[in-house]
């Protein structure tokens, strides 16, 4: 039986690499995202299925997952950030947008996938959440993103606990500076905790995609609660 994988935020960047790698490994892959043009590009590259979906829209999420017959792997990859801003300058709109996408969107997709994994035969599956180095240590002027990714850690642990009896495992991959359009600014220099601006290293996102495939192919009797993958010399511990 061909296994089914869903990758949110699959139109570009890491999501695209993950989706293509899963397809190459034999999974039937759905990619979702908010931009149809980029989803079509991803789908054409790997013979994938796609659906336009805003993960923060609970009705749309439930409708999409309700149309699936089964799901073996969910990769919660959709995410967004906010303009760099000191705490007093963060707008409520930016805060809510980041939390709605990164946290609430991940929960809504995980909830819908979890429900299907409970009903399908054989039941069970794997949920892989895209965390971040920011789930461990913050960047300056990034409080909304940092808070949302710390919360994803709690989400992952809760899913792992409640899925344990049903063959559902949850994993959080914390990624640091994979080379995508979102990290292009690293080559221009980014703000450091000491107030300096420094160029940070990046690494090939295909490395992350390969790990996602390895985790996805594990039997559900094996859990990988957390995995950190990052450019070897990037600022991490204490962001120093």
Task: Reply yes or no on whether the pLDDT at 184 is more than 90.
Answer: no
Task: Reply yes or no on whether the pLDDT at 176 is more than 80.
Answer: yes
Q: Find the catalytic residue in 65, 107, 114, 145.
A: 145
What pLDDT, on a 0 to 100 scale, did the predictor assign at position 1?
A: 86
What pLDDT, on a 0 to 100 scale, did the predictor assign at position 66?
A: 98
Least Cα distance to 180 among 9, 52, 2, 14 occurs for 14
What pLDDT, on a 0 to 100 scale, did the predictor assign at position 187?
A: 79
Task: Reply yes or no on whether the pLDDT at 238 is more than 80.
Answer: no
Number of domains in the chain: 1
**C-alpha dihedral, 102 to 104 to 106 to 108, nearest 10°:** -160
For the chain, the distance separating the N- and C-terminal CA atoms, rounded to the nearest angstrom, is 48
pLDDT digits (tens, 9 = 90+) for 213-227: 999 999 989 999 999
- Half-sphere exposure in the Cβ direction for 177 (13 Å, CA): 19
CATH number of domain containing 143: 3.40.50.720
What pLDDT, on a 0 to 100 scale, did the predictor assign at position 76?
A: 98
Q: Which residues contact 120 (CB under 8 A, 6 or more apart)?
A: 69, 70, 71
pLDDT digits (tens, 9 = 90+) for 27-44: 999 999 999 999 999 999
Encoding tokens for residue 22?
A: 């899963």
What pLDDT, on a 0 to 100 scale, did the predictor assign at position 98?
A: 98
pLDDT digits (tens, 9 = 90+) for 149-163: 999 999 999 999 999
Q: State which residues form the domain around 150.
A: 4-239
pLDDT-derived band at 148, boundaries 50, 70, 90: very high
pLDDT-derived band at 122, boundaries 50, 70, 90: very high
Q: How far is CA 158 from CA 116, 209, 217, in A?
A: 17, 24, 22
Task: Reply yes or no on whether the pLDDT at 240 is more than 80.
Answer: no
pLDDT digits (tens, 9 = 90+) for 49-98: 999 999 999 999 999 999 999 999 999 999 999 999 999 999 999 999 99
Pairing of strands 197-198, 190-191: antiparallel
Q: Would residue 145 show up in a list of annotated catalytic residues for this protein?
A: yes
């Amino acid at each position: 039986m061909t296994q089914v994988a869903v990758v949110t935020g699959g139109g570009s960047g890491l999501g695209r690499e993950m989706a293509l790698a899963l397809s190459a490994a034999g999974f039937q892959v759905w990619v979702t995202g908010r931009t149809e043009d980029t989803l079509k590009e991803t789908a054409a590259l790997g013979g994938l299925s796609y659906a336009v979906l805003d993960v923060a829209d609970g009705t749309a999420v439930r409708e999409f997952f309700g149309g699936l017959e089964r799901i073996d792997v969910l990769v919660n990859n959709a995410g967004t950030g906010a303009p760099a801003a000191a705490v007093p300058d963060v707008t409520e709109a930016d805060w809510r947008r980041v939390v709605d996408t990164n946290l609430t969107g991940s929960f809504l997709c995980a909830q819908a996938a979890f429900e299907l994994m409970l009903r399908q035969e054989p039941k069970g599956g794997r949920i892989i959440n895209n965390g971040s180095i920011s789930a461990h240590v913050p960047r300056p002027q990034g409080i909304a993103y940092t808070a949302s990714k710390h919360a994803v850690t709690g989400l992952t642990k809760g899913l792992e606990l409640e899925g344990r009896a049903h063959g559902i495992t949850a994993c959080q991959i914390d990624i640091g500076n994979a080379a995508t359009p979102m990290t292009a600014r690293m080559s221009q220099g980014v703000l450091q905790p000491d107030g300096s601006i420094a160029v940070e290293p990046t690494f090939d996102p295909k490395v992350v995609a390969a790990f996602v495939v390895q985790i996805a192919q594990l039997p559900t009797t094996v859990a990988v609660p957390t995995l950190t993958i990052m450019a070897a010399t990037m600022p991490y511990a204490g962001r120093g």
